[in-house]
Amino acid sequence: MTNETSVPDGGLSTEAQHVLDQIDEQNVDFLRLQFTDILGTVKNVSIPASQAEKAFEEGIYFDGSSIEGFVRIQESDMRLKPDPSTFAVLPWRRTEESAAARLICDVMDTSTGEPFEGDPRGVLKRAVDRAEGMGYDVNFAPEPEFFLFEEDEDGRATTKTNDAGGYFDLAPKDLAQDVRRDIIFGLESMGFEIEASHHEVARGQHEINFTYDDAVSTADNVATFRSVVRAIAAEHELHATFMPKPIAGINGSGMHTHMSLFEDGENAFHDEDDEFNLSGTAKEFLAGVLEHAPAITAVSNPTVNSYKRLVPGYEAPVYVAWSDRNRSALIRKPAARTPAASRIEARFPDPSCNPYLAFAALIHAGLDGIDEGYEAPDPVRENIYDFDEAKREEYGIETLPTTLESAVEQLEADDVVLDALGDHISESFLEAKKAEVTDYHVSVSEWEKERYLETF
């Protein structure tokens, strides 16, 4: 992967020139230059394709003070630096005559000319740099789940599902097969390699899996995935949501995240002689993630609603433990067909997170485990959901934070995860999350009205 867009003599790089050629060949008339704010919301600046060369050579300037968590009004000038490796035509904007395409950008600080410390993509790149400094390449493979809901007569989202299907169901119960097919075609046209798709456990819930890649490319893919799913669902007059728990009483949406480290082209997580085929490096990394999981949760499960998914009884992991078998543990060691596929799966993140920040937090936590030589606890092969409090204490199993407020407190006390985010994003993120908690505390829900309005 490269994001070098210029060469020393001031000309364009080979990669950038290739993008310009693609723009001509595919009749692209507009480019969307994309980046994310600290909350993971995709932002974009649209420019005519005729300005592409200028964008590569000089960048595109924008007002950073208007973006969540970026800069103050007196520091507003920021610059977008397009990454040519991320060029892709948007499938829902393609016609016979013209097309629109996107480029994902790094955000640069105009005052220093350096990468902006508040750019989430830059935060993940710093985590990758730390891993590379230790001799490791980092791979990720997330599984973002989502719901499809019908829209009302005004085109607004409802929580009425368009099917009553369950896990791996077929039509007629799964009425969204055609939607998933169109989403897959759209993703494939943008360079995704799709491994599988299926109906999930809850009615209206779906999953589409794509192949692993390096950490930054995978985070780019998650941001793209969410945009494509929403756009193509809208073409079917459906609303796609990555809200973790949109309906009470049924399973919420997770984003199980598979991770591995490679060293000199070999999987550093694999050990053929180990009972679980996990190397000492893998176990130290795993132990680091478990150690910092309560703080990571504020980043990987960043909304008030996230903690309505993280409750026992709905297949969401809440217990800080690992297993090679059951899915009640926070981290699972999936079966692997080949040594190269040995990995660990963090089951607690959800798809509302900013993938750049969540992946960065997981990487730093795991690398801290390697640096400090953390020892992984024994795996728990029993169903932890069946444990009472006494048995959990006997096994030394802690529980994830039960609210965003408590997760934020854990984050504030964890220097490793704070350092992963950096001072700028840590400060802005904590401020935003505390404001969200306050807003939630002062709101009055329909549940409260139904329960108390006529009772008291």
Q: Would you name the residues annotated as active-site residues? A: 63, 143, 145, 200, 207, 256, 327, 345, 347
Q: Report the alpha-carbon distance of residue 390 to residue 388 in Å, rounded.
A: 6
Half-sphere exposure of 105 (CA within 13 A, CB side): 30
Q: Tokens 């723009």 correspond to what residue?
A: 23
Q: Report the alpha-carbon distance of residue 128 to residue 332 in Å, rounded.
A: 23
Beta carbons of 224 and 146 less than 8 angstroms apart: no
